[in-house]
Amino acid sequence: MTAVDTPAPPPPPPPLPVRDRTRGEHAPAGLSPMLTRLAAERATGVLVRERGTLHLDEGRVAYAESPLAPGLGVLLTTHGTLRPEIWQDAVSRADGQGGAARILLADGRLAEGALHLCHLSALYDAAYFVLAPSSTPGRFRYGTGHRSGPFPPVPVDALERETLRRRALLDRIWPDARPDSAPLLRTPTAAAPRPTPRRQALLDRADGVRTAADLARDLGRQTFHTLVDVRRLAAAGLLAPRPRPEPPPARDPAPPPPAPYGRGDRAGQGAGPARADPWPPAPDQGTEDPHITLLKRLRDALEAL
C-alpha cells in the first residue's frame, strides 16, 4: 500500500477585531475627573494632558490644542478660504488665534458664522485627542483664560458627550484602533468597492510613513474626520497599519578573551601578575560529544577553585 503525501492545510486567517461593548456610549460620563472638578469650581487656566491642552475660562473650554489635530489657521488657509499671508498678518497683529479672529471679523475677511464654525471644528477636533485615555496625570495652571475671540466657550459636559459619541462612531465602523496612530499602507484588494475621491486622496498619500494625523495636516482636514475615512478604508481592506519590523536575530555571544599566561610562560612576563588558567585543557576524549567535554571542563574549573 502506497502512502500519498498531502499538503499541509493553510493557516487560518487572523481573527477580526472584536468590538468592545463597554466603550463609547456606555462609558462613564466623566472622561477626566480633574476636568469635572475644575468645571464645578468654575476655574480659569490651562489643563495640560498627555495629548494636548484645554484652555478653561470660568469652568468652560475656550480653546483646545493638540499636536494630533490641525489648528484654526490650517483649516482656514489650506482650501483657499483665507490666504495664508492674511492669516499670518492677523496673528502678528493680535495676541494669539482668538485675537486674530477678532481682526478678521473687523476687517471683513470672513463672515462671523463661517469663522465660528471653523473655531468649533478645531476645538472639538483637538479636544477629542486631549480627552483620550492618558498614561500620565494632567496638570492645571491657574491663570488668565484663553481669549477665544468673539465666540462663547463650550461647556465641559457638552465636550465630553461629543467625545464619547465620536469614540462610539469609530468603534462601529471598525473596532480596531491601530490605524488611528500607526503609519498607514495601501493594501489593494480586487473585491473592494471603488473609494470616493475624498478617500482616494488618503490612499494616494499612504506611504507607510505618514499617520492619519499627518494625512489630515497635509490635506487640511480635521483629524477625527480623517480617522472616520481611515477606518472605513480599513474595513474595506484597502488600508492597514504598517507592520512592525521583526527584531533582528540574536547574534552569538562574542568569544571570551584569551586566558592569561601562566607563571612559567615567558610570554606572560611583564604583562601583569600571572593567574592560573580558569579553563584547564580537557583530556583527549577522541570523538566525545563537545557538550559533554564542555561540562567536564566546567566541573574541573569549579573543583580547582
In the chain, where the domains are located:
24-172, 178-241
Taking the CB of residue 229, how many other CB atoms lie within 10 A of it? 23
> Given this model, what pLDDT does residue 264 score?
46
pLDDT band at 268 (very low <50, low <70, confident <90, very high): very low
pLDDT of residue 250 exceeding 90: no
> Given this model, what pLDDT does residue 193 score?
80
234 CB-contact burial (10 Å; exposed 0-12 / middle 13-18 / buried 19+): buried
- 91 or 264, which is more confident: 91
> Given this model, what pLDDT does residue 148 score?
58
> Given this model, what pLDDT does residue 30 score?
67
Element (H, E) at 198: helix 197-205
Cell digits of residue 51: 495629548
Helix (H, G, I), strand (E, B) or coil at 158: helix
pLDDT of residue 96 exceeding 80: no
- The per-residue pLDDT of the chain, averaged, comes to 81
Calculate what percentage of the chain has a pLDDT beyond 70: 72
pLDDT of residue 285 exceeding 70: no
Q: What is the pLDDT of residues 16-51, one digit of tens each?
A: 555 454 444 444 446 899 999 999 999 999 999 999
Compute the Cα dihedral for 147, 152, 156, 162 and give only its sign.
negative
Domain 178-241 grouped into CATH 1.10.287: no
